[in-house]
Structure 1
């Protein structure tokens, strides 16, 4: 069996102290006045001999694992995948690794994963929380663990959070429909207590009520069987034959909804206008292209990981929770053309920042 190489072996072979090797391995060469030439020599030798640091021993010495646990709803969803990718890239550049997993919006699964992360002694937690884990989040914060939640918050959570303005995004989408002559606008959303879904429906409700109309809302089950979900949406649209537009609360509901519309042989936007909350690349490639609310993915991801890194480096005031509500962008495409408009314009007409003001 090949003998495991230690820091002591490296120090002995190079004729330097173990402390010097340790400083280089931990990225602290500059602050400990180790020359660039010596740092390069040590790193080159480490690569040559194939040394692998004992992370468990390092964590015992420093109290840090250099690992951040990240819990998201669904890693296959383009929104969460994009957020996770940016977070991982920035974290890695700062010497941290990201361990992430999907919760499937299941509170018990989330609790189990949090326990795994605690056992691994991760340094911090980035979470898109499902309803029902308020107690677990409070325990993490009370125990002094850095926690940043994003995409949605939970009632009573007192910690760092980064969200999009879900209310204003939905309100602006419906106002766009109204401005373009649509009069009977339905919303298809999740049957969910998630804060962001409640805010989106509130934005829809307020915009509709301002016209004197009544909301027309269909709620579907999260991650329902695809064929069943398509049939449900199909039956809803067919059963409300006087609706002339549909607002989908998420892009994965829209995936099934667009298939349902196709099955009904309805033309978009001539017979049914469509807007989706949460844009992704394929929507601009559809025929017709799909109008969508584009969330500020890059800004959200950067805010999330920077908040976490500040907590880990103790540059943020302990206990001073910080909240960020970010504006989204309405990407106006062909699926919401004015009702009087002749067929199709070029793929994407206008992109405007959503105003932050809310109706009184």
Structure 2
């Protein structure tokens, strides 16, 4: 079905397509179009359910009122919830959001950036992959408004909104120590990106500050792209290889879910045979019996700050980057208490 065009509205209103274009683009007063004619055009456009062609509008105005959002995995509970917050916040400013997942794959991330450039998005919100720094620099050189989220590149001066991952991991590990756990391991992702590095650093710092022995044998790094069965098998092998292990910290929520499966398949009881904490909350953590202690990110605040920073950059470009680091919350539940 053919869409409604400006010419269709002009014909019914008895005016020129140029007049309709001025009214629909908010230039009625500037072009001295009467309020009566303006209202008539807007009424017809509403009745006909006119939807502007964003690409065509972008060519005329330089603005498409769209934002590109690139996340690691839209199927992940954290990123899915954050994407919804960003979508709702952007809508308050009249912006629509186009998004995609990188699966932590740099080539896929580059492809998504090309698609968003073609769609002429006005700004970018990016969860960067490890080798995307050159592409970020090119966008900055082209004066494209962008905000990094969840992680950033220390060598780049850029806007970003992230969590204090070091504190989240430090508080979680300290909590386990105070509960009496002494042989604490961490299962994390094999990544040198800021968010994962800070979580591992927070874990090791907490053990050191609490005078708990640490060795590399207590750290298990897993590739991001393993399937569920492989995650479970690797976690089971690791947990059974550490002598006298009494607690484990999972550095992401999907690792935590695999950890629960693995521990149950071993016949161990969470909270009794082994303490457990996960990073990022999840409905399963709340509903599981026993419930799972976790480091929770303020997703609402993260999404709101991201959009606010991007809108500021879109409307008032600034040379000094806004770099926002938000505090996590440790939600204490049954899995980290000796029962």
Q: Same fold (TM over 0.5)?
A: yes
Cα pair 1:134 1:155 within 8 Å, conserved? no
Change (3 A) 1:110 1:5: closer
For residue 305 of structure 1, the aligned residue among 304, 307, 310 is 307
Alpha-carbon distance, 1:39 to partner: 5.6
Change (3 A) 1:235 1:30: farther
Alpha-carbon distance, 1:249 to partner: 0.1
CA–CA distance in structure 2, aligned partners of residues 28 and 200 of structure 1: 51
Q: Extract unaligned runs of 5+ from structure 1.
A: 344-360
**What is the match of residue 179 of structure 1?**
178
**What is the match of residue 285 of structure 2?**
283
Q: Name the SS for the 1:275 alignment partner.
A: strand
Q: Name the SS for the 1:253 alignment partner.
A: helix
Task: Return 12-21 or 171-180, whichever deviates more.
Answer: 12-21
Q: Name the SS for the 1:293 alignment partner.
A: strand
Cα pair 2:89 2:303 within 8 Å, conserved? no
CA–CA distance in structure 2, aligned partners of residues 305 and 262 of structure 1: 41
CA–CA distance in structure 1, aligned partners of residues 184 and 100 of structure 2: 36
CA–CA distance in structure 2, aligned partners of residues 37 and 270 of structure 1: 75
CA–CA distance in structure 1, aligned partners of residues 249 and 39 of structure 2: 57
CA–CA distance in structure 2, aligned partners of residues 174 and 303 of structure 1: 28
CA–CA distance in structure 1, aligned partners of residues 302 and 31 of structure 2: 35
**What is the match of residue 228 of structure 2?**
226
**What is the match of residue 113 of structure 1?**
112
**What is the match of residue 14 of structure 1?**
13
CA–CA distance in structure 2, aligned partners of residues 234 and 36 of structure 1: 71
Cα pair 1:66 1:97 within 8 Å, conserved? yes
Alpha-carbon distance, 1:307 to partner: 1.1
**What is the match of residue 332 of structure 2?**
332
CA–CA distance in structure 1, aligned partners of residues 108 and 122 of structure 2: 20
Alpha-carbon distance, 1:280 to partner: 1.5
Alpha-carbon distance, 1:296 to partner: 1.0
How does the TM-score come out when normalised to structure 2?
Answer: 0.92
Alpha-carbon distance, 1:202 to partner: 0.1
What whole-Å deviation, never above 9, does each CA across 1:230-276 have from its counterpart, x for those lacking one? 11111111111301100000000111111110011111111100001
Tell me how large the CA RMSD over aligned residues is.
2.3
Q: Name the SS for the 1:219 alignment partner.
A: strand
CA–CA distance in structure 2, aligned partners of residues 45 and 16 of structure 1: 12
For residue 244 of structure 1, the aligned residue among 243, 246, 257 is 246
**What is the match of residue 150 of structure 2?**
151
Cα pair 1:170 1:200 within 8 Å, conserved? yes
Cα pair 1:159 1:321 within 8 Å, conserved? yes
Task: Return 194-203 or 225-234, whichever deviates more.
Answer: 225-234
What whole-Å deviation, never above 9, does each CA across 1:143-165 have from its counterpart, x for those lacking one? 10001000000131211100000
What whole-Å deviation, never above 9, does each CA across 1:66-95 have from its counterpart, x for those lacking one? 221111000000110011111111212322
